[in-house]
Amino acid sequence: MGSVVGLTGVIIAKLSTHATGGLGHSLWLGIPVALGAALLVGLAQGLLITRLKLQPFIVTLGGMLLVRGVSQTIVQGGTLSLGTSPLLGLANGGLIQVNGDPLVPYPLLMFAAVALLGTYVLHFTVFGRYVYAIGGNRDAAEYSGINVKKVETATYVISAGLAGVAGICYAAYIGQMSQQVGVAYELYAIAAVVLGGCSLRGGEGTVLGIVIGSAIMRVIDNGINMFQIRYEDDQSIPRLWRLNPNWTFIIVGSVILVAVVLDQVVHIVQSARRIKRASGPAPVPVAPSGAGA
Whether residue 166 is contained in a domain is answered as: no
pLDDT score, position 286 = 64
Whether residue 48 is contained in a domain is answered as: no
Whether residue 68 is contained in a domain is answered as: no
Whether residue 131 is contained in a domain is answered as: no
- Per-residue HEC secondary structure of the chain comes to CHHHHHHHHHHHHHHCCCCCCCCCCCHHHHHHHHHHHHHHHHHHHHHHHHCCCCCHHHHHHHHHHHHHHHHHHHHCCCEEECCCCCCHHHHHCEEEEECCEEEEEHHHHHHHHHHHHHHHHHHHCHHHHHHHHHHHCHHHHHHCCCCHHHHHHHHHHHHHHHHHHHHHHHHHHHCEEECCCCCCHHHHHHHHHHHCCCCCCCCCCCHHHHHHHHHHHHHHHHHHHHCEEEEECCCCCEEEEECCHHHHHHHHHHHHHHHHHHHHHHHHHHHHHHHHHHCCCCCCCCCCCCCCC
The domain in which residue 263 lies consists of 184-195+212-277
- Model confidence pLDDT, tens digit, residues 197-256: 888 788 888 999 999 988 888 888 888 878 778 877 777 777 777 777 777 778 878 887
Q: How many domains does the chain have?
A: 1
Reported confidence tier of residue 282, pLDDT bands at 50, 70, 90:
low
CA distances from 200 to 64, 113, 156, 192, 250 (A): 20, 25, 16, 12, 21
- Model confidence pLDDT, tens digit, residues 153-202: 999 999 999 999 999 988 888 888 887 888 888 888 888 888 888 887 88
Chain centroid to CA 280: how far? Answer: 42
Whether residue 24 is contained in a domain is answered as: no
Chain centroid to CA 194: how far? Answer: 10
Q: How many residues does the chain have?
A: 293
- Model confidence pLDDT, tens digit, residues 51-98: 998 999 999 999 999 999 998 888 887 888 887 778 888 888 888 877
CB 49 within 8 A of CB 56: yes
- Model confidence pLDDT, tens digit, residues 90-136: 888 888 877 777 888 888 899 999 999 999 999 999 999 999 999 98
Whether residue 105 is contained in a domain is answered as: no
Whether residue 263 is contained in a domain is answered as: yes
